[in-house]
Structure 1
Amino acid sequence: MNLRKDLSEKVLIADGAMGTLLYSYGVDRAFEELSLTHPEDVLNIHKAYIEAGADIIQTNTYGANYIKLKRYGLEDEIKRINQAAIRLAKRATSGTGTYIFGTMGGINGASDSKVEQAPLDEIKRSFREQLYCFLLEGVDAILLETFYDPNELKTVLQIVRENTDLPVIANVSMHEPGLLQNGEKLPDVLQEIANLGADVVGVNCRLGPYHMARALETVPLLDNAYLAAYPNASLPEMQEGKIIYQAETDYFQEYGEIFRKQGARIIGGCCGTTPEHIRAFRAGLTSTKPIKTKEVRPIIELVPEEPSPLEGVRLLDKVREGCTVLVELDPPRTFDTEQFFEGAKALHEAGADAITISDNSLATPRISNMAIASILKHEYDIKPLIHLTTRDHNLVGMHSHIMGFHKLGLHDVLAVTGDPTKVGDFPGASSVFDLRSVELIQLIKKFNDGISYTGKSLKEKARFHVAAAFNPNVLNVEKAVRLIERKVEYGADYIITQPIYDTQKARVLNEALEEAQISVPVFVGVMPLLSSRNAEFLHNEVPGIRLTNEVRERMREAEKAGRGNEEGMLISKEIIDSISEHFNGVYIITPFLRYDLSLELLQYAKSKEQVHVI
């Protein structure tokens, strides 16, 4: 058996999905574990694909790495799981001449956006461990598949090439035919992967046969690698709580020949495909002879237009030049908006540089902040800074919201995770969290390049400035500042903090930022206390807010004297004094729509001299 020789002479048929056929065992477990717990079922699936005409089968090891197995508490079983999977594949292929591909799946992928993105160093360690298992047990080739991030694939491919001369098949995945998630074109990425040493480069997952074939029409035959195609059966749908793929196997039959004519040397299946789909591919081939030339369809490139210049000074420019004050007003919880707009107008006239509008703060439903922000901008000529949580919006809704922000002219956005739903009015409501806040920052900034989440051109570039949230109310601010570093790396233009109640906190934060050489503007939060009871509630029940014992005692004593509100304002002014010594940005949070308090603090903050130039 010589895989490279066979690939040079003929088209090979690979197997289809493993997970689809193991799905009946439930989705809350690792399919890879079934090589240990249900070996005969895995073995029979391999045999079914071989019987259907597959020249190649892949091991049941797609997610058998440390990062993915850890989700199921199986991180200590990596060697046993990979070993069992390879030995089952060998049992199935014994005496058949079928090749075994050791499969390693992408880790940071859009196929599972709820899973926290892993750092590249962890990915390297995880893949090395799995690769060691493959080399120890022996496979015929390494299959790297379902990589949405080309950089991850390139990194892993280099690791494989450093450790073995086995043939390597490297497949990327696309949302949009012909485009990777980062906006790179498929032909360019496949050529680059081939240059890094892959024997076969191709596409798998996400797309069905039609769109995958259309994507391959733009890819020329390569001088240093062959092509591969592993389409999904179809787009999935839900039936009675289960994922179903509807594609008829007869439909697949015609695509066996279509993929061959596009230059594919390996044709297999991904999600939803079964032995019958693979049988159909085999039956559809009029020949296994590879093509030597093909006509390449040109890529029609949609270059996003540059946005027209904005009138006036941007918020980010203002804070770099001098004292800048944001004031947060929560949208109303009822249809009565009179007080809200009265407050916004008064604050604007008093010099607020922007009104920030939360996205259902404390998980409490309010009027859509997009609607409120649009009214502020277009009816009152007031600059809004709009919050966007990962809690309330799935990836589809998030994408739609950001596009809406752009068309409404809402160009300043604070990307936040959002308070847990259990603290709000609907504690049983679901929290989405398709993305983390850092990934939301990254997503919003992609719109500035005119690129959607899927890599598709939006035909126009946005002009967002994105703020990131930070909680300085921690014991070790210096350590916590690393989070700001990461958010800045992901594209944050400036930082907005939770309210502080310690006059030393602004100094400590400034020193930590200078030590970390972080120079983005920072707006430090101030929220006036209304009473001792209000102070205790904030300290004990509101996530991310901590008061010093001194402040709590001052509020208790002031309450006894009937001047709790006055003491709260005095404390806020002391905090503003300390902020002004180190930062240009003040972020005033209005409690319970008491905009009269914010108005007083705004005027006080504006009276401070500029002492810190960014």
Structure 2
Amino acid sequence: MRPPILDELRKRILIGDGAMGTLLYSYGIDRCFEELNVSHADEVRHVHEAYVNAGADVIQTNTYGANAIKLARYGLEKEVTRFNAAAVEIAKSAARAETYVFGTIGGIRGFQKQSLELSEITRSFQEQADCLIENGVDGLLLETYYDFDELREVLKRARKSTDKPIIAHVSMQEPGILLNGLPLADALKELEGLGADIVGTNCRLGPFHMIQALQGIPLPKRAFLSAYPNGSLPDYRDGKLYYETEPGYFKKYAVDFRNEGVRLLGGCCGTTPVQIEAFKNGIAELEPLQTKKVKKTATIVVERGDSQPETPLYEKAVSGRSVFVEFDTPRHLSTAHFFKGVRAIEEAGADAITMADNSLASPRISNAAIGHLIKERFSIPPLVHLTCRDRNLIGIQSHLMGLDVLGLHDLLVVTGDPTKIGDFPGATSVYDLSSMQLIELVKKFNRGISYSGKSLKHPTHFRVAAAFNPNVRNLDRAVQRMKRKAECGADYFISQPAFDKQRIAEVSAATSDVSEPLYIGIMPLTSSRNAEFLHNEVPGIRLPDNVRKRMALAKSKEESIQAGTEIAKELIDTAMEHFRGIYLITTMGHYSVTVELIKYIKEKERLLSRAAAVRKAGSQS
């Protein structure tokens, strides 16, 4: 009779299998691998058999993504039970009498954290876990979890669902530290405390860097340590991924893994039966490590940096009136008119000047470059917009570091208009991160930690504004989204332009329990064509019929600008009754209108203050 796996791990090092997807991919199969459990069962069985023949003591079911959330990408979310049951049957048929079969459940959020609620993830997890357990797996393998919050929650669920052994694997971008900055040693200790029987790491790192990460890990008190490294860094040739690692390399590192206390050693992406056999041969004559001297790892020091953070711009809207002005950088290299406008806006008394990040998906001079020049030449603070559209995760982090070095610490984080509406509709919209994830990343930088969890050496000092759209049918839903952004770290909000006085009042009522300041957007119209374009073609903007009619009645350019200015003043009157922050959006470079509106706000505020002082004096007499 086969002994329980935990009893075996007390006596010897066990070998796990390698990648399922890598072998299937090498056979020319590039589709939903979990569906193959029912359509190509023999191919899946052959992979299991190859690993068993290579010496694997523990094999895992072909169920990494066999949950409703991931299967929904293929329209197969109703097939969870069928795919998981078939996977267990196939793995058992390939196993020998002494082979352990574990049901694999992969992380859902992955390296690029998706906007999925943990409640949704745990429901999907429970459905899959129940199916695997009912079909008789020897235990559960939770693998490739970059998001530690997710792993923590599913492990709690798993432990309540079964007494069978559970393997819990985190994944790292940087050796020794998780994406949230948690040291690997602390993470594994917590997983052990939550009931995992085997704790370790898999994916992303090859043997060299995974050994580095394990050098600072003490032997668990109750659980056992495991490691499933990648085969190598992948090469990309002719549209396909290739992994190249010599078996001798893995045989050598098997000894190193043993010397770090690993009791279960397998492989992840890029590994094949060749590497698993090398691991088996490498530890063939070795006994498990009983005691370990932990290598001291360097403490991550987050320096304060040279400069101290300035007073946040939005604080002016907490206790008094504040006016921000959006004035976008030019689409060409002639900057004289732009800087003349900056000077006029500054002299009119605006509290900050903001610049979009290639608004309407059309290229403009970098707002970071112009923001730096404004900081050097003027006294008005610059606030730069940052979209999710134009930069991948690498570029965003590089850009943030550059902004910090330039001293541009005030940001407005937005999703960004899709490229198809801009000058280059064939360009790629990146969207590696959502706006909420980007807010979280900026706040992570403020803790001195990069996306991968690596130290930045000193923290950044960013203050983050988030966008709010008042022009939606369901205002309550927009406010809920606003609150989620605040939970992600948004310090304050800037709205898209509002063109309806009633809607401004409704927004005030709907956001009454939001503590973060809101700057309400006001955009002066310049013509009827401008109004119709905004209403019909710009995402997130709707104009009331009466506003469009008033603009249509104007018979000249001068009348159009005058009508647009008067409408803006009326909207400002209402906005000032409800909000302390006003966000003026300069239309088509017409900064003279913006200057007039700034002066209007300043004069109106002066009169309101004088009236309040008179009322106060009267009440005291």
TM superposition score category, shorter chain reference: over 0.9
Counterpart of 2:42?
A: 40
Counterpart of 2:23?
A: 21
Select the residue among 537, 558, 573 that pairs with 1:541.
537
Of 156-165 and 245-254, more deviation after overlay is shown by 245-254
Counterpart of 2:408?
A: 410
Residues 169-211 of structure 1 show CA distances to partners (whole Å, capped at 9, x for unaligned) of 1000011111011001111110111011111000100101011
SS at match of 1:468: strand
Counterpart of 2:603?
A: 607
Of 565-574 and 343-352, more deviation after overlay is shown by 343-352
1:291 Cα deviation after fit: 0.8
Give me the whole-angstrom Cα distance separating, in 2, the residues matched to 1:44 and 1:288. Answer: 29
Select the residue among 487, 490, 503 that pairs with 2:488.
490
Give me the whole-angstrom Cα distance separating, in 1, the residues matched to 2:46 and 2:536. Answer: 58
Counterpart of 2:103?
A: 102
Give the counterpart letter for 2:474 in structure 1.
N
Counterpart of 2:613?
A: none
Counterpart of 1:470?
A: 468
Aligned positions of 1:84-483 closer than 5 A: 84-93=86-95, 95-110=96-111, 113=112, 116-307=114-305, 310=308, 313-483=311-481
Give me the whole-angstrom Cα distance separating, in 2, the residues matched to 1:311 and 1:48. Answer: 59
The reply to whether residue 564 of structure 1 matches residue 560 of structure 2 is yes
The reply to whether residue 78 of structure 1 matches residue 80 of structure 2 is yes
Q: Check the 8 A contact 2:346/2:379 in 1, yes or no.
A: no
1:478 Cα deviation after fit: 2.2
TM-score when normalising by structure 2: 0.95
Of 369-378 and 400-409, more deviation after overlay is shown by 369-378
Give me the whole-angstrom Cα distance separating, in 1, the residues matched to 2:412 and 2:27. Answer: 42
Select the residue among 52, 55, 59 that pairs with 1:53.
55
Give me the whole-angstrom Cα distance separating, in 1, the residues matched to 2:468 and 2:574. Answer: 18
Paired residues, number: 607
1:48 Cα deviation after fit: 0.4
Counterpart of 2:593?
A: 597
Give me the whole-angstrom Cα distance separating, in 1, the residues matched to 2:423 and 2:18. Answer: 47
Give the counterpart letter for 1:59 in structure 2.
T
RMSD over aligned CA atoms reads 1.7
Give the counterpart letter for 1:105 in structure 2.
G
Counterpart of 1:513?
A: 511
1:559 Cα deviation after fit: 3.5
Give the counterpart letter for 1:331 in structure 2.
T
Residues 150-185 of structure 1 show CA distances to partners (whole Å, capped at 9, x for unaligned) of 121111111111111000010000111110110011
Q: Check the 8 A contact 1:359/1:368 in 2, yes or no.
A: yes
Counterpart of 1:31?
A: 33
1:27 Cα deviation after fit: 8.0
Counterpart of 2:69?
A: 67
TM-score when normalising by structure 1: 0.96
Give me the whole-angstrom Cα distance separating, in 2, the residues matched to 1:385 and 1:607. Answer: 24
1:28/1:315 CA distance change after superposition, 3 Å: farther
Residues 563-613 of structure 1 show CA distances to partners (whole Å, capped at 9, x for unaligned) of 22111100001111111111111111111111111111111122233889x
Give me the whole-angstrom Cα distance separating, in 2, the residues matched to 1:438 and 1:504. Answer: 29
Give the counterpart letter for 2:211 in structure 1.
A
Of 265-274 and 232-241, more deviation after overlay is shown by 232-241
Give me the whole-angstrom Cα distance separating, in 1, the residues matched to 2:378 and 2:564. Answer: 31
Residues 361-408 of structure 1 show CA distances to partners (whole Å, capped at 9, x for unaligned) of 000011111111111112334311111111101000001001111111
Give me the whole-angstrom Cα distance separating, in 2, the residues matched to 1:508 and 1:25. Answer: 59
Q: Check the 8 A contact 1:257/1:286 in 2, yes or no.
A: no
The reply to whether residue 551 of structure 1 matches residue 553 of structure 2 is no
SS at match of 1:559: coil
Give the counterpart letter for 2:509 in structure 1.
E
1:305 Cα deviation after fit: 1.6
Counterpart of 1:525?
A: 521
1:296/1:491 CA distance change after superposition, 3 Å: same
1:533 Cα deviation after fit: 1.3
1:532 Cα deviation after fit: 1.0
Give me the whole-angstrom Cα distance separating, in 1, the residues matched to 2:506 and 2:478. Answer: 12
Q: Check the 8 A contact 2:258/2:288 in 1, yes or no.
A: yes
Give the counterpart letter for 2:371 in structure 1.
A
Select the residue among 11, 14, 28 that pairs with 1:12.
14
Give me the whole-angstrom Cα distance separating, in 1, the residues matched to 2:30 and 2:337. Answer: 49
1:310 Cα deviation after fit: 4.3
SS at match of 1:609: helix
Give me the whole-angstrom Cα distance separating, in 1, the residues matched to 2:175 and 2:152. Answer: 20
Give me the whole-angstrom Cα distance separating, in 2, the residues matched to 1:561 and 1:78. Answer: 63
SS at match of 2:280: helix
Percent identity between the two aligned chains: 54
Counterpart of 1:585?
A: 581
SS at match of 1:8: helix
Give me the whole-angstrom Cα distance separating, in 1, the residues matched to 2:462 and 2:371. Answer: 15
Give me the whole-angstrom Cα distance separating, in 1, the residues matched to 2:445 and 2:20. Answer: 36
1:360 Cα deviation after fit: 0.5
Give me the whole-angstrom Cα distance separating, in 2, the residues matched to 1:155 and 1:578. Answer: 47
Give me the whole-angstrom Cα distance separating, in 1, the residues matched to 2:208 and 2:601. Answer: 61
Counterpart of 1:574?
A: 570
1:28 Cα deviation after fit: 6.3
Q: Check the 8 A contact 1:194/1:201 in 2, yes or no.
A: yes
Give me the whole-angstrom Cα distance separating, in 1, the residues matched to 2:589 and 2:479. Answer: 31
Residues 439-470 of structure 1 show CA distances to partners (whole Å, capped at 9, x for unaligned) of 00000000111011011111101111101011
Give the counterpart letter for 1:402 in structure 2.
L
Q: Check the 8 A contact 1:29/1:72 in 2, yes or no.
A: no
SS at match of 1:144: strand
Give me the whole-angstrom Cα distance separating, in 1, the residues matched to 2:397 and 2:288. Answer: 42
1:585/1:556 CA distance change after superposition, 3 Å: same
1:306 Cα deviation after fit: 2.3
1:429 Cα deviation after fit: 0.6
1:237 Cα deviation after fit: 2.4
Give me the whole-angstrom Cα distance separating, in 1, the residues matched to 2:29 and 2:389. Answer: 23
Give me the whole-angstrom Cα distance separating, in 1, the residues matched to 2:556 and 2:379. Answer: 43
1:510 Cα deviation after fit: 1.1
1:288 Cα deviation after fit: 4.2
Give me the whole-angstrom Cα distance separating, in 1, the residues matched to 2:21 and 2:110. Answer: 17
1:28/1:277 CA distance change after superposition, 3 Å: closer
